[in-house]
Each structure stands twice: as structure tokens, then as C-alpha cells.
């Protein structure tokens, strides 16, 4: 993945907000390319890096996580029907003011919040959560204002497909045998019909 700096045309003030509050000494700048990645799998990797769990010096009471720059947030992928069936709900505080927004509408409004919510909901609910939130720099496109930083592309681990469980495997085998038996029965019936037709077509002496 290329991390070549590009001209940033977005809101620079919002993009660098809170950077001064972070102690950048000893931290790495990890770049995640969200294009084509599954939302939950990408968020789990980001939450691991932003907590510092990929370092041998990890401690749950220390905030040693790296800066995470996530690009191409609007090209994130989801599985199943989550695009229309997943909803974000919140309450304004007034009676009857329960609001909701589907994932599809949220992607159209602000795709960066989709990844931010997914990552924050994987983090522990403690005092370090707000500081880790500042380390998330999410951009809808490949443009970002951190081209002068020592960026390190993050390589997503290969997806491991779990083997089929024994019960499901047996069900598949039974279904396949049933389909084969039905096919054999159809073949026998068709052969029997052909035999009867040839017998009836023969002239009688």
C-alpha cells in the first residue's frame, strides 16, 4: 500500500485537533487502508494497535498505543444485510426523542463515524478511552495532512476461514446423499418409461 503524501483539501483544523494533547514520544504512525476491508475485522485490528496490545510493553493502565491513520473510510465493506438492517440509536433527552439512523444513511452522512464507533465500542470503558479516541485519525479518502510524519503501513492479517463444524458437515453430507438418491430415482423412472414405450411400440405377432 502506498502512503505517498497528497494535497489535503479537507478540514485541516478538525484533522489535527487534539494532536498537541498527545505525547508523541516513542509512538508510531500506523496507516490503515480501509478500502474493501470488512468493518468489524478492521476495527478489531485498530483497537489492538491503539491500545498498544501489539507491543511487549503493554500494560492495561498505560496508554502506549500508536497513532492510527485510517484512509478510504467511505470504501469500507460490510457483510450480510448490515447496510440496511444495522441502526445507530441515541436519545436527545426529551420525551419520545429516540433517534435512529441506518448504517447506509450514516455512510452517506459521515463514513468516518462508522469506523470510530466500531473501534470505540471495542475499547474498555475507562479513563484512557478519551485519550485513545484522540489517536484515531480517520479520513473518507486517501488524502491526509500527515505526509511529513514517519508513516508505517499496517498489513492486515490473512483471513482464516474456520473449518465446518462436524454437525454442519454431516448435514451437508446427508443433503448430498438425498440429492443423489433423488437423482437416481428420477433416472430409474425415466429408464422404466423408455422400456415400456419400446415394449408397446413392438408389433404383435
Given a contact cutoff of 8 angstroms between Cβ atoms, the answer to whether 71 and 33 are in contact is yes
Per-residue pLDDT of the chain (205 residues; tens, 9 = 90+): 444 545 677 788 888 888 888 888 889 999 999 999 999 999 999 999 999 999 999 999 999 999 999 999 999 999 889 999 999 999 999 999 999 999 999 999 999 999 999 999 999 999 999 999 999 999 999 999 888 889 999 998 887 766 667 887 888 888 888 888 888 877 776 666 666 666 666 655 5
Residue 12: what pLDDT? Answer: 83
* Residue 178 backbone dihedrals phi, psi, to 5 degrees: -65, -40
Residue 115: what pLDDT? Answer: 97
Q: Which of 72, 70, 73, 143 has its CA nearest to residue 114?
A: 73
SS3 69: strand
In whole angstroms, what is the distance from residue 96 CA to residue 110 CA? 25
What contacts 153, CB < 8 A, 6 or more positions away? 1, 3, 30, 31, 33
Taking the whole predicted model, whether its pTM rises above 0.75 is answered as no
Which runs of consecutive H residues, i.e. helices, occur in the chain? 12-15, 39-51, 82-85, 103-109, 111-120, 129-134, 166-201
Amino acid at each position: 500500500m502506498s502512503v505517498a503524501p497528497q494535497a489535503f483539501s479537507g478540514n485541516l483544523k478538525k484533522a489535527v485537533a487534539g494532536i498537541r494533547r498527545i505525547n508523541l514520544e516513542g509512538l508510531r504512525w500506523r496507516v490503515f487502508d480501509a478500502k474493501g476491508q470488512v468493518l468489524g475485522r478492521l476495527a478489531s485490528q485498530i483497537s489492538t494497535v491503539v491500545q498498544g496490545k501489539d507491543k511487549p510493553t503493554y500494560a492495561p493502565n498505560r496508554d502506549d498505543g500508536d497513532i492510527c491513520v485510517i484512509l478510504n473510510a467511505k470504501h469500507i465493506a460490510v457483510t450480510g444485510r448490515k447496510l440496511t438492517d444495522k441502526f445507530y440509536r441515541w436519545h436527545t433527552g426529551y420525551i419520545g426523542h429516540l433517534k435512529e439512523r441506518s448504517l447506509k444513511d450514516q455512510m452517506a452522512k459521515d463514513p468516518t463515524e462508522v469506523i470510530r464507533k466500531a473501534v470505540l465500542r471495542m475499547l474498555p470503558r475507562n479513563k484512557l478511552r478519551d485519550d485513545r479516541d484522540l489517536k484515531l485519525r480517520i479520513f473518507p479518502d486517501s488524502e491526509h495532512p500527515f505526509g511529513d510524519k514517519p508513516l508505517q503501513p499496517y498489513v492486515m492479517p490473512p483471513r482464516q476461514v474456520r473449518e465446518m463444524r462436524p454437525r454442519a458437515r454431516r448435514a451437508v453430507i446427508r443433503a448430498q446423499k438425498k440429492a443423489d438418491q433423488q437423482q437416481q430415482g428420477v433416472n430409474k423412472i425415466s429408464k422404466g418409461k423408455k422400456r415400456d414405450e419400446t415394449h408397446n411400440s413392438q408389433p404383435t405377432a
